[in-house]
Structure 1
Amino acid sequence: MRQSQTAVLERYRVLRGDFTTEPFEAGWAGEARWFVQVLETARPDTRIVVTTQVSPDGLHWCDAGCPTQVVAGKDMISWPVREFGQWLRITGSVEGDGGSAKVQIYLTLKE
């Protein structure tokens, strides 16, 4: 039987400007999937742009080579990550004039 885990990295957090999630150690997993759910936005033109990052030690980071993801308005997006090594996080920014967004961010992992 495969093992799995879901990590809730952000719950009802209000994002403004640039942000980075807490790093998550996932070296045991063979695959991962991000979920970013926007619950509320301050303005209708608000969008969130996110990039997956990887790290060998949880201290030094680089982009994972995954396409940049964009979520606009109240929506949820998801994307897979493979061959990621040891640590995962996402970094991004909230775009739009004076925009903010309340989000939930999940990372699911499978062995």
Structure 2
Amino acid sequence: MGVLRSLYSRVSQRVWSTVHLRVGSRGQVRTNKGFKPTGFPHLGAALFFARMSKGLTRDSVEKFVRLNVSEAQKQEIKSWPGSLVRSIENGACIPSREVQSRLEQIVGVPLTRRRRRGGNRRL
């Protein structure tokens, strides 16, 4: 019985290692491993990828943003057609800087590339 169990174990390990996609491998793009927002066609596509890889729903992201923005931004968000996150992901609207910073806060990655300040640089 011991020989069969060890043979089964070896065979199942070999099959599993060839079929299973390793989580966290270098070939797998994730938000915490080399995420570049410039690789997406627009901000909404980057938001969708980051949201899905973190396992967040549209409703939870939208609720967080609505609770943490100013009153002026809340009024602007109400004028957008449909859901806030859905309209951003579809590329129908571009969020303000405040809304974008809240989205980055909940998703945990920058959604746009930051510009460097070329101020006082020593040579």
Normalising by structure 2, we get a TM-score of 0.24
The structure with the largest helix share of the pair is 2
Normalising by structure 1, we get a TM-score of 0.26
The structure with the largest strand share of the pair is 1
